[in-house]
Structure 1
Amino acid sequence: MKRVWTLTAALALGVGMASAQSADVPDNLEKLSSFQTTGVTDFTFVDQSGPYADGIKKTLERITLPPGFNISLYAVVPDARNMAVGPQGIVTFVGTRKDKVWSVTDRNKDGVADEVKDFAPSLDFTIPNGPCFSKDGFLYIAEQNRVLLFPAAEFFYESPDVAAFNLVAQGDLIPASEESFNHTARVCKIGPDGKIYISLGQPFNVSPPEKLALYKEKGIGGIIRMNTDGTGREVYTYGVRNSVGHDFHPVTGELWFTDNQVDGMGDDIPPGELNRQTAMGQHFGHPWYGGGSVRTNEYKNQEVPVEVVMPAVEMVAHAADLGMEFYDGKMFPAKYKNAIFSAQHGSWNRTEPVGARVMVTFIDDEGNATSEPFAEGWLNENGEYLGRPAAIAELRDGSILVSDDLAGAIYRISYGE
């Protein structure tokens, strides 16, 4: 569905949505949906200088990159996860797995943030990991079990009160019975069809048989899509264990996504996945496969009842491939055009830790993909993590941002500066 709303029309829709909200919706969301003040006046600001920032800069001296590339501290941002760069280039919104969304502003465009403060401080967020923008400036934030819409976030973010509406009300993204502390970091992206695509990780290591029918129906363990007015929900992708990163190829429009694979099977199996989806309804193997062609112990004796699409790239086991972004900027050398930059968060279920780096994946004209390390050094010689890259975003100047939820930072990688 192609959206042709004006801002006024969108806000009018929001008022209508607010009037239909249930009584248990937080009062402040109702007020913001009706353009009323909440009485909240204070922001939480994050200091961008001092010993903590200096320590992060010291760590960055360890990071290795291809010749000509540079990495620097862009912002100190606690618990930084997925990022959404505003279409006007004014502000970057940063999600977390806690209860904050941060707004990061580089006012003088010198490649270093001038201000980091919380966004919409009157709202109570629950795991707001997944912000994403439409090209016309609508911000969406995918939470554990809700999706909020902010029609003019770049305009309103300087105020504690912002226009905010339910796209998917609390409890309607997944059944309340399936809310979990595990695999609840949602991500979203607007596809080339103008629809919003939202990942729904399933909460188990391996989904039990009694959950499969419900999960198939709701899209849990998959990726759903819907119109940007919240209508027309459908399941687009099946057989995903826990994807925390997806994006669309700038030329073909195909959906690519990372997937975290089954734990407890050993150091070197199963592989992590980078997947390529070429049609709606394709199935990517979970729970019959733990990753790649490796069968899960729980389902190894069962015949696989679906046609499975194998990964485009098998990544090192347990490196926790998370956020990814196709590069379509002009700053980097031509070989990086339409390549994928992705974050490996780092392992926990491995005797020898791996990951904590940024990968780059090159795709040839036939769609064949090969991956290699691009930025690494956050895993030191003692096997300790000095940082854990979580997501990638591209700035308007063609540099890329890398979030790190361990260090509580965002890095900027540039070329030739």
Structure 2
Amino acid sequence: MGKSRLCAATALALLCSIPAQAADDALDKLGGFRTTGTSLDIPQVEQSGKKAENLKSIAQKIKVPDGFKVELYAIVPDARHMAVGTNVGVVFVGTRKSKAYAVTDRDGDHVADEVKEFAPSLRKSVPNGMCFTKDGFLYVIEHNRALLFPAAEFFYESPDVAVAVIAEQLIPKEDESFNHGARTCAIGPDNKLYITLGQPFNVPPKEKLKGFAEAGIGGIIRMDRDGKNREVFARGIRNSVGLDFNPANGELWFTDNQVDGMGDDIPPGELNRAPKPGMNFGFPWYGGGKIRTVEYKDDEPPADVTFPEVEYAAHAADLGMRFYAAEQFPEKWRGGIFAAEHGSWNRTKPIGGRIMFTSLKPDGTADKTEVFAEGWLDPKTGRYLGRPVDVAIALDGSMLVSDDLSGAIWRISYGE
């Protein structure tokens, strides 16, 4: 790890709650931490008033299966990917801008009491990716940097939080682009950090392929939790903005958004399974599913291409995904995959604004895919009331859905 930039004054005392091996690494960084003098009075995001009432009215329009209900959990500006704390369930929320947020339900009534910026003294750039380790370490993945917060659930109320930069640069500076620049992350069963690296083009020029393949751009990389031993885990991916591991067998699954401008109904979006390293998922030779791209139609694709487990609706923009490993939902939904459809922007008739569900067969491959929740897209007007980005499972087993259009987190529960 490189030298860290910030700390809370009580950081050393809190290390006693961190497992020994992880604490040893963090201790090396804490000596360089300092307070910045930033005001302790961090402004809160208003959770009541007209905006809250408008959002509650949207919740009533969302259709879910019998026994489920949708409610407003929190107002969070530009809400993107989420990570639920392993200790008390503080929800950390990323954005595609320069802020991240901490969301707290202090009284346990399933509605956020407090939403405020997380680590406001730290300058951030597209802090979209959020993921927790089982022992309570929070990773925040920016567009071109990876950060580690050793005790985020303890520090979140301070403007200065303990943080270490574990990767100063994820991609070469010359390849930085806001297009497809929202990173996501997950901790694998091998205790390594996995990061998606979307490539910045609709279809990349051929002269970029070699460098992209070496860096893992248009792929998924993995590294040790301290940032060491980086390697490319998977290639042939256009722009994945969601990944998770099947808790039943440890296999990695991920969504992938495919090529624009080929027509309303092609190519499909993808849900992919990567049970081992070194797999190639076909892009840019294939633009989605088995649809060849115009730019590479005369080029021989790799012989070992793996095609998707599920083909989603074209341009629906499936982003965050999560296996449901809790018990609140009925048996039908347990062990399956929920994915957030952000919704199309380049289709004659808009599609998306839904939560999709994919069940798995006994062998761990995809079975059936169906709509679980819909209504964020008004079918009559084509207007989006919200755009789901990510799904996360709260400690009580309910589902949280982030929405960067309405600036909200929705809560879907069963039997309450």
TM-score, normalised via structure 2 length: 0.93
Distance 1:131 1:38 in 2: 24
CA-CA distance at 1:36 after TM superposition = 1.1
Preserved contact between residue 268 and residue 289 of structure 2 (Cα < 8 Å): yes
Deviation per CA, 1:142-176: give whole Å up to 9, x if none. Answer: 0000001110111111111111110101xx21000
Choose from 198, 214, 217 the match for 2:195: 198
Choose from 234, 237, 247 the match for 1:237: 234
Distance 1:285 1:84 in 2: 30
Distance 1:283 1:354 in 2: 28
Equivalent residue for 1:21? none
Number of equivalenced pairs = 396
Equivalent residue for 1:416? 415
CA-CA distance at 1:4 after TM superposition = 6.2
1:341 partnered with 2:338: yes
RMSD after superposition: 1.2
SS class of match (1:132): strand
TM-score, normalised via structure 1 length: 0.93
CA-CA distance at 1:369 after TM superposition = 2.7
Equivalent residue for 1:11? 26
1:305 partnered with 2:302: yes
CA-CA distance at 1:7 after TM superposition = 5.4
State how 1:252-331 maps to structure 2 within 5 Å: 252-331=249-328
CA-CA distance at 1:204 after TM superposition = 0.1
Deviation per CA, 1:353-379: give whole Å up to 9, x if none. Answer: 000011111011122332110000111
Preserved contact between residue 84 and residue 92 of structure 2 (Cα < 8 Å): yes
Equivalent residue for 2:15? none
Q: Which runs of 4+ in 1 moved over 2 A?
A: 3-8
Equivalent residue for 1:162? 161
State how 1:350-369 maps to structure 2 within 5 Å: 350-366=347-363, 367-369=365-367
Deviation per CA, 1:205-243: give whole Å up to 9, x if none. Answer: 011100100011000000000000111100001000000
Preserved contact between residue 189 and residue 198 of structure 1 (Cα < 8 Å): yes
SS class of match (1:66): coil
Distance 2:370 2:137 in 1: 34
* Unmatched 5+ stretches in structure 1: 16-32
State how 1:387-398 maps to structure 2 within 5 Å: 387-398=386-397
Choose from 22, 32, 38 the match for 2:36: 38
Distance 2:45 2:302 in 1: 51
Equivalent residue for 1:185? 182
SS class of match (2:305): coil
Distance 1:306 1:124 in 2: 44
SS class of match (1:56): helix
Preserved contact between residue 282 and residue 302 of structure 2 (Cα < 8 Å): no
Deviation per CA, 1:165-192: give whole Å up to 9, x if none. Answer: 10101xx210001001100000000001
Preserved contact between residue 283 and residue 306 of structure 1 (Cα < 8 Å): no
SS class of match (2:280): coil
CA-CA distance at 1:248 after TM superposition = 0.3
Q: For residue 97 of structure 1, what is the amino acid of its counterpart?
A: R
Preserved contact between residue 62 and residue 377 of structure 1 (Cα < 8 Å): yes
Q: For residue 241 of structure 2, what is the amino acid of its counterpart?
A: V
Equivalent residue for 2:205? 208
Distance 2:89 2:387 in 1: 26
Distance 2:88 2:154 in 1: 12
Distance 1:10 1:213 in 2: 34
Q: For residue 216 of structure 1, what is the amino acid of its counterpart?
A: A
Equivalent residue for 1:76? 75
CA-CA distance at 1:6 after TM superposition = 4.4
Q: For residue 58 of structure 1, what is the amino acid of its counterpart?
A: S
Preserved contact between residue 90 and residue 107 of structure 1 (Cα < 8 Å): no
Deviation per CA, 1:313-338: give whole Å up to 9, x if none. Answer: 00000000000000000100011111
Preserved contact between residue 19 and residue 135 of structure 2 (Cα < 8 Å): no
CA-CA distance at 1:35 after TM superposition = 2.6
Preserved contact between residue 10 and residue 151 of structure 1 (Cα < 8 Å): no
Distance 2:57 2:184 in 1: 31
Distance 1:416 1:208 in 2: 52
Q: For residue 11 of structure 1, what is the amino acid of its counterpart?
A: A
Preserved contact between residue 197 and residue 225 of structure 1 (Cα < 8 Å): yes
Preserved contact between residue 89 and residue 395 of structure 1 (Cα < 8 Å): no
Preserved contact between residue 358 and residue 375 of structure 1 (Cα < 8 Å): yes
Equivalent residue for 2:376? 378
CA-CA distance at 1:301 after TM superposition = 1.3
CA-CA distance at 1:45 after TM superposition = 1.2
Deviation per CA, 1:106-158: give whole Å up to 9, x if none. Answer: 01111100000000000111000001100101111000000011101111111
Distance 1:4 1:112 in 2: 31
Equivalent residue for 1:143? 142
Equivalent residue for 1:55? 54
